Amino acid sequence: MPALFDGLKRILVGRPFSTEQLKKKPLPPKIALPVFSSSALSSLAYAPDEILLTLAMAGVAATMLSPAVGVAVLVVLVVLVLSYRQSIKAYPSGGGDYEIVRTNLGARPGTAVAAALLVDFVLTVAVSSSSAAQYLSGLFPVLGEHRGLVAAGIVVFLVVANLRGRGQSRWALAVPVYLFVFGMLALIAIGGLLAATGKLGLAPSAEFTIVPEEQFSNGLHGVVGALLILRAFSTGSAVLTGIEVPISNVQSLAKPRARNAGRILLVVGLLSGVLTLGTLMLARASGIKVVADPQKSLMLDGLPVSADYVQVPVLGQLAQAVFGDFMLGTVVVSVLTILVLLLAGNQAFNSFPSLASHLATDGYLPRQLRTRGDRLGFSNGILSLGVAAVLLVLVFQGDVTILIQLYVVGVFVSFTLSQLGMLKHWNRELVPVADRRIRAAKKRQRLLNLVGLVLSGLVLLIVLATRFVHGAWIAVLGIVLLMFVMNSLHRHYQQVDAELSIEDGGQATALPARVHALVLVSTLRKPVLRALAFARASRPSKLEAIIVDVEPQKTQRTLQDWERLRIPVPITALASPYRDIPGALIEHIRSIKRESPRDLIVVYIPEYVVGHWWEQLVHNQTALRVKNRLHYEPGVLIASVPWRLLSAKNALGGGPTEESSAHREPKPLPKD
C-alpha cells in the first residue's frame, strides 16, 4: 500500500525538490503583468454574459442598457484601481488586504478578510473552471451535458499541476495572456471598425427573440426594474475580481517593487475597462442574445429553440459575428479564453496556499498548512483548495451564474473591509501632520478610499439584498464558518502555547525517582522475548512482566511456558473479571503509583509490523487499545517494541529501500 501510493505520487508529482530551490528570481514587469492580470482579465469570459443574461430577464429592450451597466462597473473599477495604488504605496510588503485590515482594524476583522479571501480563491477556481468547461463544451458539444464533471476535471488538473509546482516555466504562464489580450484587442478593434462602417455581421443568436419573465412583461419599470438593473450591476462587478492580485504579490516583483506593482495595476485596470466596455458595445451592435435558460426564454419565429441548442458565450458569439464564417478565428478566441481561465484558476492555487500558510504561521489555521510538499508547494493548502472547489462545481453542476453570486460576495467583503482599513490608516496618518499641503494630499487620498468604501459596500449590499436566498448565503456561511474555525484554533493554539511554554524550567525537568518497567505479555513468543530484552537493556529499577488473565487456559499455558523457558523476569497475572485488558493494566499502574508516586512507569508493548493493510486488521488490535487508553494515564511512558513480520519485509514498501533513500543522506549541521 505505501509503496503503491508512493509510486503513484511520484508519477503524478515527480521527484522531490530540495529546499535550496525555493529561492525565486524576482519577476520583471513584462512577465509580472500577464501573470498577475490573468485573474482580472479572465472575468471577460463570463462577466459580460452575466450582465446580458440578467438584463435579458426583462426582454430585449433591457439588454440595450448593458453598455450603461458596463460604464457603472467601470466607475467602481477606476475608483478601486486608484485606491489600490494608494494601498500599495502605504503597504508595500505584500500582505495585501489581510495586512491592511489587520493593521488598521484589528485581529477580528483581519480574520474576516482572511476568511473572505480564502472563500474567494476557492470561488476563483470554481468559476474559472466552470467557465472554461462552458467554452470547452462550445468546442466539443458532447461535453455540454457533463459540465460539472468537466469543471471538476479541470480543477483536478490544476491540483496536480500545482503539486508538481515549479516545473512551470514563467513564460508559459505569460504568453497565453499576451495572446489573449492582443487577440481580444484586435477583435474589438476590427469589430469596432466594421461597426463604424456598417459592415459588422449579426451574431448567430441575433435572430432570436427573448421572452421576458412574467413580472417584466411590460418592460423594465418600477422598483422591480430598478432592482434588476442593480443586480446586473452587482453581477457585472465580477469584472473587478482579481485586481487585488498585484498588491498581494509585491514581494515577488523586481525592484522598484511598489512602483512596478502600481504600474501593473494601472495597466490591468485599463485593459479590463477597455475590453469589457468594448465587448458589451459590440455585443449590442451584433445583436448577441444570452439568457439563463435558452429553452425557456429564446424564441425563433414564434417557436421555442430546439432542445439541443447550445448557447455559445458572448466572446464566442462575438468572434463569430466579427470573423463571420472564419471558423478558425472563433476556435482561437475560445482556446485563448480557456487558457486564460486556467491561468486565473492557477493564480488562486498560488494565492490560497500562501495565504493559508501565512495564517497557519499566525496560528489561525492548522500547522499542516505550513508544510511544504516534495515539490516545495504548500501541498495541504493546494489539496484543500482543490477539494473545496471540486465540491462547489459538482454541487452547482458548473453553473457560472450561481457561482458568480458567491464569488462577488467574497471579493467585495474584502474590498469593503480593505477600504475601511485604509480610511482608518489615513485618519491615523493625519494626526501628527501639521503641514497644510501634506494634509490636503492625505485628505484627498482619504476621500478616494471613502468613495471606494461606499461603492464597494454598495455592491456588497446589492448582492446580499438581491441574491441572498439564491446562493449568496453560502458564501456568507462559508466566511462565517471559516472565521469561527480560525478564531477557535487561534484560541486553542494560544492556550497550548501558554500551557507548554517553559517559564522557570524547574518542575518539568525533575528526574523521576526510579524507573518501573512493565512488559505486556499475552502468549510467550519471540516479540515478547525481544520486548523483555529491550526492557532489561534499559536497566530499570524494577522490571515485571504482566499478563492480564482473560482466558484462564491461555494464561496458564503462558505461565507454564514462562517457567519452562526459565525467563529471568517475574511475571504477574492480573485478574480481570470483565475481560478489560487496558483497564486491569491501568489499575495495576495506579496501585504502583500510589506506593511510589515519583516513579516513572514504562510499559513495553510488543507490536507486529505487517506488510498488508488487512494484516493490520487481524493483528495488534489489543496493543492499539492498550496504547490508546494508556495515553490518558499521567506519568506513563509507552514503549512500542516493533517486530517486523516476514510479510512486512517481503511486501513492497515494507521499508525505505536503499535506493530511494540514497539521495537523502543527512549531514549533522555545525552547531553554533
CB of 391 to a second copy, least distance (A): 19
**614, 238, 202, 571: which is closest to 401 by C-alpha?**
238
Cβ proximity to a second copy, 397 vs 576, nearer residue: 576
Choose between 343 and 547: whose C-beta lies nearer to a second copy: 547
Residue given cell 488562486 in the structure block: 348
- Rounded to the nearest whole angstrom, what is the least distance from the CB of residue 503 to a second copy in the complex? 10
Nearest CA to 623 out of 531, 501, 487 is that of 531
Report the residue number, 470 or 644, with the smaller CB distance to a second copy. 644
In angstroms, what is the minimal distance from the CB of 550 to a second copy? Answer: 8
Distance CA 537, CA 87 (A): 65
Nearer to a second copy, 127 or 547 (CB): 547
Q: Which is nearer to a second copy, 53 or 543 (CB)?
A: 543
> Measured from the CB of residue 87, what is the shortest distance to a second copy in angstroms?
28
Tell me whether residue 378 or residue 396 sits nearer to a second copy (CB atom). Answer: 378
- Residue nearer to a second copy on the CB measure, 131 or 620: 620
C-beta of 587: minimal distance to a second copy in Å?
5
Residue with cell 436566498: 469
For the bound state, the minimum distance from the C-beta of residue 618 to a second copy, rounded and expressed in Å, comes to 4
Q: In this structure, are residues 234 and 407 in contact, taking their beta carbons and an 8 Å threshold? A: no
Pairing state of beta strands 636-644 and 298-300? unpaired
Residues in contact with 191: Cβ distance below 8 Å, sequence separation at least 6, in sequence order: 200, 278, 282, 285, 286, 318, 321, 322
In terms of CB distance, is 417 or 648 closer to a second copy?
A: 648
Compute the least distance from the CB of residue 523 to a second copy, in Å.
9
Handedness of CA 69, 75, 81, 86 (dihedral sign): negative
Q: Are residues 535 and 604 in contact, defined by beta-carbon separation less than 8 angstroms? A: yes
CB of 594 to a second copy, least distance (A): 12
Residue 9 CB, shortest distance to a second copy, in Å, is 13
Q: What are the grid coordinates assigned to 201, written together?
A: 455581421
Cis peptide before 527 (omega within 30 of 0): no
Beta strand ranges found along 125-227 (DSSP E): 209-210
A 10 A CB-CB count for 175 gives 14
Residue 262 near residue 88 (C-beta atoms within 8 A): yes
Rounded to the nearest 10 degrees, what angle do helices 581-595 and 621-630 cross at? 40
| Bridge partner list, 27 | 253
* Contact (Cβ atoms closer than 8 angstroms) between residue 445 and residue 424: no
Minimal distance, residue 14 CB to a second copy, in Å: 13
Q: Where are the alpha helices (DSSP H) in 197-221?
A: none
Question: Least distance (Å) from a second copy to the CB of residue 495?
Answer: 7
Burial class (CB in 10 A: 0-12, 13-18, 19+), 668: exposed
Q: Of the two residues 163 and 630, which places its CB atom closer to a second copy in the complex?
A: 630
Query: Residue 222 or 506: which CB sits closer to a second copy?
Result: 506
Least distance (Å) between residue 520 CB and a second copy: 14
For every residue of 568-625, DSSP letters joined together read SS-EEEEE-TT--HHHHHHHHHHHHHHH-TT-EEEEEEEEEE-SSHHHHHHSSHHHHH
Paired sense of beta strands 209-210 and 298-300, if any: antiparallel
Closest CB to a second copy among residues 301, 672:
672
Nearer to a second copy, 444 or 514 (CB): 514
